[in-house]
């Protein structure tokens, strides 16, 4: 999975609080008890813990589709979090950005799709882990930009 169109988050993102329903929304039959708002939610506060260490990127490709990251998803990447076994990371390999699963036990970057081979980290002289994917956002309507 390649990464396209990087964007840095401003140090002081605009705060926008929107209504947050107290219960989860059912995908089946609705419940009449679920129609009140519990509190407000600011997506900047919820999705971005350290604005100065966070950036956005568009996912491109099919190597992580088996874990729910699809072509066109917006990735929220944090450079400040400690990388752990199994994290989804953005890595620069010979100057090209890719998004893969970090396998520290075997020193590999893995795809979730079995059609893509693992990348051995030790074989790559020019490999930099740029950050950890902390959220991905899906677009359910066609993007106009």
Tell me the three-class secondary structure of 97-122, residue by residue: EEEEEEECCCCEEECCCCCCCCEEHH
Answer yes or no: 136 catalytic: no
CB atoms within 10 A of CB 109: 23
User: Which of 23, 100, 124, 144 does the annotation list as catalytic?
Assistant: 100
Answer yes or no: 100 catalytic: yes
User: Which of 8, 23, 31, 63 does the annotation list as catalytic?
Assistant: 63
Catalytic residue numbers?
63, 100
């Amino acid at each position: 999975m390649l990464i396209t169109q990087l964007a840095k988050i401003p140090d002081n993102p605009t705060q926008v609080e929107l209504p947050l329903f107290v219960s989860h929304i059912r995908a089946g039959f609705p419940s009449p008890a679920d129609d009140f708002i519990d509190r407000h939610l600011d997506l900047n506060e919820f999705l971005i813990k350290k604005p100065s260490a966070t950036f956005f990127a568009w996912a491109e490709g099919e190597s992580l589709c088996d874990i729910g990251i699809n072509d066109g998803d917006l990735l929220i990447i944090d450079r400040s979090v400690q990388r752990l076994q199994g994290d989804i990371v953005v890595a620069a390999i010979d100057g090209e950005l890719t998004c893969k699963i970090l396998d520290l036990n075997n020193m590999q970057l893995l795809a979730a799709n079995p059609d893509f081979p693992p990348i051995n980290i030790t074989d790559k002289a020019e490999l930099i882990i740029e950050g950890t994917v902390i959220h991905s956002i899906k677009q359910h309507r066609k993007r106009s930009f």
